[in-house]
Amino acid sequence: MIKNISDCTTLNNGVKMPWLGLGVWQVNDGPEVERAVIAAINAGYRSIDTAAIYGNERGVGKAIKDSGIPREELFITTKLWNAYHDYDVALKAFDDSLKSLGLDYIDLYLIHWPIPARKKYVEAWKALIKLYEEGKVRAIGVSNFHIHHIEEIINATGVIPAVNQVELHPYLTQKQLLEYCKKRGIQVEAYSPLMRGKVASIREISAIAEKYGKTPAQVVLRWHLQNGVVVIPKSVHENRIRENADIFDFELSESDMKEIDNLNINKRFLPDPDKMNYTG
């Protein structure tokens, strides 16, 4: 049982990654992101999920410095944007992220989307392998990759990603992908774990939450953890940042887990990765 905010999953290269992190998509650079990151660190979070395209790496980096927490106690993820899949361009994009964050290494670097129309994600993966071999990043992975995208990069390079960060929540339970990743030793990480805040309006989840004396968000985050999935809920409000971390003192029953599993309707809030071609 995952019992503590400092509990970690062990990735396929032995690196430890916290089960809970703060997501910062759509959080403004400057005071907004700095306040959110500091609030999270004060609440005990040690993992932050950003991306070059979020435009807030600078603020994340400033908050990390201001927090005074030793760098090695933090786990920082950022992502290679879709326009930068060419090998040399990817290496340069990584250096730019490092500079913006003010760090000398990244804990986890992900290919943000495969962008199948460009047919460049194998090349991008080779660049990430190079960064890993050079010790600039402790673990490399992918995001929004279907099974066939993952198979393709493994077949081309022999290197298995440590993480696949995908949309995953009660309306999109991703059972097949979860099973595949488990077999391959790839840690699944849920983005939009709270269905972008909409979990609060699902009747069945509210009923379960009431039974445990927890909020719908807490129940859903706990459901993810019990499914072996890393979560990175986003909030800019200190009370919610704390609420989302207060999930380590209860355990959902098997039947409640199943009830949430059964809410699946394969609904995505973001595009299907096979149809996503945005590189702007």
**The binder of ligand NDP chosen from 80, 217, 219, 230 (CB under 6 A):** 217
Determine if 82 is a binding residue for ligand NDP (CB under 6 A).
no
Reference 160, options 175, 141, 176; nearest CA is 141
Determine if 268 is a binding residue for ligand NDP (CB under 6 A).
no
**The binder of ligand NDP chosen from 78, 165, 173, 187 (CB under 6 A):** 165
Name the segment binding ligand NDP (CB under 6 A); options: 96-104, 114-122, 188-196, 252-260: 188-196
Decide: 93 and 84 in contact? Cβ < 8 Å.
yes
Nearer to ligand NDP, 18 or 233 (CB): 233
Is 54 an active-site residue? Answer: yes
Minimum gap (Å) between residue 207 Cβ and ligand NDP: 16
Residue written as tokens 């306040």? 35
Region of residue 76 (phi > 0: left; psi between -120 and 50: alpha; otherwise: beta): beta
| Per-residue contact flags (x/-) with ligand NDP for residues 127 to 146, judged by CB under 6 A | ----------------xx--
Could you give the strand order of the β-sheet that contains 22-23, starting from the edge strand earlier in sequence? 22-23, 47-49, 75-80, 106-111, 137-143, 163-167, 187-191, 230-231
Determine if 235 is a binding residue for ligand NDP (CB under 6 A).
yes
**3-state SS string for 120-182:** CHHHHHHHHHHHHHCCCEEEEEEECCCHHHHHHHHHHHCCCCCEEEEECECCECCHHHHHHHH
Decide: 121 and 128 in contact? Cβ < 8 Å.
no
Region of residue 191 (phi > 0: left; psi between -120 and 50: alpha; otherwise: beta): beta
Decide: 246 and 218 in contact? Cβ < 8 Å.
yes
> Which position among 45, 54, 84, 121 bears the catalytic label?
54
Determine if 195 is a binding residue for ligand NDP (CB under 6 A).
yes
Name the segment binding ligand NDP (CB under 6 A); options: 7-15, 90-98, 132-140, 196-204: 196-204
> What is the spatial distance between Cα 8 and Cα 71, in angstroms, rounded to a whole number?
17
Determine if 116 is a binding residue for ligand NDP (CB under 6 A).
no
Name the segment binding ligand NDP (CB under 6 A); options: 7-15, 180-188, 237-245, 256-264: 237-245
Nearer to ligand NDP, 88 or 250 (CB): 250
Residue written as tokens 């660049």? 127
Using CB under 6 A, count the residues that bind ligand NDP. 28
Q: Which amino acid is at 227?
A: N
Minimum gap (Å) between residue 188 Cβ and ligand NDP: 12
What residues are labeled active site? 54
Residues in contact with ligand NDP by CB under 6 A are: 23-25, 49, 112, 143-144, 165, 191-197, 200, 215, 217, 232-237, 240, 243-244, 270
